[in-house]
A and B are shown apart, each in its own frame.
Chain A
């Protein structure tokens, strides 16, 4: 603990530069930390908060494996500095299930076999989640547009698109 930024403060000194304070909410939990200014948000989530669900596929914002929802919108956490998340609300794959029960979206991913190796799945789920939050009744084209930033080498995407469609339908029904 660095002592400067509160109780749950991590110190990670890679660069020898003074750590920067960071407060954010991750999956509903308030986090206070001091981080090396060069650390990415992805590495902060994984290496410091030990939330390993979010993956790194390329480190360059191309493949979407590291997709999380920050302040309601999807972002590639591999090309964001951790310090930029100061004040942000973050949702990762670990925050999708509530009270020990899988979300409808997660259930539909399983039901439609929308995953194989599973490595792209966390990022894919976050892109789908953000889509349904802003558009509860997306067309096939809109689903493809929302997911195109998430590469999957196993499934051929069609089962994923089907899972998002049926999750959207179930979520809409549940709201009725």
Chain B
């Protein structure tokens, strides 16, 4: 196959907004000031579960400068994307320590904070649901009204009179037969704690709600301009046309700013404050303690294998400690039923994924959601199976890996163009010099030095988790210079979507990339629709929409040029900013002469301003069968693998990541520099989950580490000494130039690879994250 030469695709253009960001000019909501703007502060529940007996706001209301004080009764709205269960302000009952109990808007932050301190609440503390087992037991219900909650039907399955927000299942083949055929059955339990997204900019929103009409304008640090508009409309029961959502630069999201968060609360405050704009900027403590997390999870896995390594049966119970609300969390749990077996062909499978309510801060999407968690279980399990079989874990993986002709858990057939997990795994194994586990003797020899090294590999996969009809649009307009203004509905939060889309537009139109300007600051009144900036879906979907918009623009130009040349449109082509006649290439018109229509010498004009659009809707996706999990959930699978070499201090338990090789079948890399950024950044986030991060709760459900003092994220000193990104390019047939998404994937399976390397180094299998110095050292000491 001859590699196609592109003008812009595959080139490492620098990000378009770099200059604004290094000069301090880039404006975030954090920086937004509006005339008459008020500031909000919140009162939080000190208890994990309690009845609110009374709230006295009279002193707060009497404080000069206070413009609005709200409690649950004032905001009786339920919000949520998939499960409509989230309260804007707690009413009657609090469900987690940190939940909002009252909100104040005042002339400045100091006054608002003072007013909050004057609110008196009387609670009756109730016993709470702290653990997965207590949630499953169901003696106490986190939501006593679970039977009445609204949700996306047919996709999620809340269980009556329980704490199970959704129970999703996979049933493939004959699990009994599969286990009967097995030579070996391996059972393990793996756990990981809740983890914070920790974007550097905390959640922040400004809202202005017209007290005399439904008009509402919201500025928010959000990944979801249109989903946010949608959910505000549903919550307040107002038309979407009355809501305007504006999103400028946002200081990191990672899934935590998808969906709906503090926006409705700020809107209600603004309305109560007679329509003055209200700003609510969350403190770091609130970011940890009131805003959502990645759920903790417990995976119980049972695998049947033949002596030759072939998997005959796979059974898993994935239980998600989703906290007090599951509005987005149920969708995290759902991913397990079609991806929770990892990138392997499994003929007989049974998976139960239960998203559980507990009295803790609630969970939501977090980069590669559902996958880092299930892959922690699956990829560790693969290594343990290999150990029991006396097989090289690389060989075991290759024996079962998805390849053309294989079927996924949900029954989807894999083709060459789906991507190649085996090429990824081979690439990382080669890069780290994988030759199998070291021997016991080698390990003992290393232990004498006090530092042991080990290598590990892990496979990963993910497809966007999104509704079957997810869609996006792009609008393109040409100016008199032949420059192009492109409007899309995705939020560039640093992943580089605007730069990549400019490359695609410039490629299609065959013009310099500098001629394309992607319009920043998404405004739902002006920009075209996009579902959510999530799921690593935009390169494929948005890229196609932008391509189509460019093609539509070329068609419009050719239609006008055809009249000018008195030629058939089929006889015209485009190149380097000109429309020309293929037979008489000297007959050509520059784009800018067509941008406002074409004017003949005598003054006659034809055509008109060049405005085009393109749309893309996911096609062929189906909801999964409620019983078996069968269906087509995947817009595109992106496969990948990590290979890691670590060094462990056997006494302190400290892990140093010496080298991480990460390979992804990206289909086609649009901009290597930007994708490298996703890989290196994602790997370090994964290392954070692997060896450092995690929520800690007291026995009464109080979050013990709601600050960067005790809920650390990796620093420059914690970065791996070397990260080697590797790209495999099996083109996606329906991706733009063959591209598919890769932004979330670098984080997935990083903990698994580190855990596997830790076994290679120490001979000990770890089942729980984080692999902190404490956890590692104590296990090594125990095993001495």
A and B touch in the complex (CB under 8 A): yes
Of A52, A59, A119, the residue contacting B283 (CB under 8 A) is: A59
Of A2-10, A18-26, A80-88, A156-164, the one with at least 4 CB within 8 A of chain B: A156-164
A98 to chain B, nearest CB (A): 12
Q: B684 to chain A: which residues have CB within 8 Å?
A: 156-157
Digitize B290-316: 1 where CB-to-A-CB distance is under 8 Å, 0 elsewhere: 000000000000000000000000000
Q: A148 to chain B: which residues have CB within 8 Å?
A: 715-717
A54 to chain B, nearest CB (A): 7
Q: Does B25 interact with chain A (Cβ within 8 Å)?
A: yes
Q: Does A117 interact with chain B (Cβ within 8 Å)?
A: yes
Q: Does A57 interact with chain B (Cβ within 8 Å)?
A: yes
Of B13-21, B53-61, B554-562, the one with at least 4 CB within 8 A of chain A: B13-21
Q: Which of A96, A97, A115, A149 has the most CB of B within 10 A?
A: A115
Q: B674 to chain A: which residues have CB within 8 Å?
A: 113
- Asked if A52 contacts B494 (CB within 8 A), the reply is no
Q: Does B389 interact with chain A (Cβ within 8 Å)?
A: no
Digitize B11-51: 1 where CB-to-A-CB distance is under 8 Å, 0 elsewhere: 00011011111111111101100000000000000000000
Q: A106 to chain B: which residues have CB within 8 Å?
A: 22-23
Digitize B502-525: 1 where CB-to-A-CB distance is under 8 Å, 0 elsewhere: 000000000000000000000000
Digitize A130-158: 1 where CB-to-B-CB distance is under 8 Å, 0 elsewhere: 00000000000001110111111111111
Q: Does B381 interact with chain A (Cβ within 8 Å)?
A: no
B576 to chain A, nearest CB (A): 27
Which range contains the number of B residues in contact with the other chain?
Answer: 35 or more
- Asked if B683 contacts A121 (CB within 8 A), the reply is no
- Asked if B18 contacts A14 (CB within 8 A), the reply is no
Q: How far is the CA of A3 from the CA of B577 in the complex (A)?
A: 61
Of B200, B284, B495, the residue contacting A120 (CB under 8 A) is: B200
Q: Does A11 interact with chain B (Cβ within 8 Å)?
A: no
Q: How far is the CA of A43 from the CA of B200 in the complex (A)?
A: 17
Q: B496 to chain A: which residues have CB within 8 Å?
A: 116
Q: Does A74 interact with chain B (Cβ within 8 Å)?
A: no
- Asked if B201 contacts A115 (CB within 8 A), the reply is no
Q: A96 to chain B: which residues have CB within 8 Å?
A: 22-23
- Asked if A110 contacts B681 (CB within 8 A), the reply is no
Q: How far is the CA of A65 from the CA of B200 in the complex (A)?
A: 8
* Given A147-B716, A159-B677, also A153-B22 (CB < 8 A): no
* Given A117-B493, A144-B717, also A110-B673 (CB < 8 A): no
Q: Does A92 interact with chain B (Cβ within 8 Å)?
A: yes
- Asked if B200 contacts A119 (CB within 8 A), the reply is yes
- Asked if B719 contacts A57 (CB within 8 A), the reply is no
A60 to chain B, nearest CB (A): 6
Q: How far is the CA of A147 from the CA of B717 in the complex (A)?
A: 8
Name the residue of chain B whose CB is nearest to the CB of A106.
B22
Q: How far is the CA of A62 from the CA of B713 in the complex (A)?
A: 11
- Asked if A97 contacts B719 (CB within 8 A), the reply is no
Q: B225 to chain A: which residues have CB within 8 Å?
A: none
- Asked if A102 contacts B14 (CB within 8 A), the reply is no
Of B24, B25, B494, the residue contacting A116 (CB under 8 A) is: B494
Q: A118 to chain B: which residues have CB within 8 Å?
A: 17, 20-21, 26, 249, 251, 494
Interface residues of B (CB under 8 A from A): 14-15, 17-28, 30-31, 108, 110-111, 197-202, 249-254, 283-284, 493-496, 673-674, 676-677, 680-685, 707-709, 713-717, 719-720, 723
Interface residues of A (CB under 8 A from B): 14-15, 38, 46, 51-60, 62-63, 65, 92-94, 96-97, 102, 106, 109-111, 113, 115-122, 125, 143-145, 147-161
